[in-house]
Amino acid sequence: MAGTGGAGGTAGAGSTCDGADEFIYAAENRCYRFVDDPLLDWPSALSDCESWGGTLAALTTSEENLFVSAYVIDHTWIGGSDAATPNVWEWTSGEPWV
């Protein structure tokens, strides 16, 4: 499970989930993977998700947020960033910020 500094990431539709810390979000057939690593910073979490074939989670609906929050124990990294333009938030997945 994601702890402080952990990562919550997704792989796209049609992904298989077969690991101990992987969960299917059936509404969108996405696989979520939670990494419990308190030393993981945001760029490292993003890199880990990308090496897995996904990205940090983009929580674009209240249903998806509720699903993910059921697995998060403390704090977790998600895929929102304002690195390109300060105070203009974007999802690393390319999905619209809502």
Q: What predicted TM-score, i.e. pTM, was given to this entire model?
A: 0.72
Q: What is the mean pLDDT of residues 38-59?
A: 87
Q: Where are the domains of the chain?
A: 6-91
* Whether residue 2 has pLDDT greater than 70: no
Residue (of 73, 84, 77) closest to 48 by Cα position: 77
Q: What is the mean pLDDT of residues 5-29?
A: 62
Label residue 1 by pLDDT band (50, 70, 90). Answer: very low
pLDDT of residue 11: 53
Write down the mean pLDDT value for the chain. Answer: 78
Distances (CA, A) of 3 to 6, 14, 76, 86, 97: 5, 27, 6, 27, 24
Question: What residues contact residue 5 under an 8 Å CB cut-off, 6+ apart?
Answer: 37, 38, 39, 40, 41, 45, 75, 77
Neighbouring-strand partners of residue 52 = none
Distance CA(12)–CA(39), nearest Å, equals: 26
pLDDT of residue 81: 92
Q: What is the mean pLDDT of residues 8-30?
A: 65
pLDDT of residue 4: 35
Structure tokens at 55: 């990205």
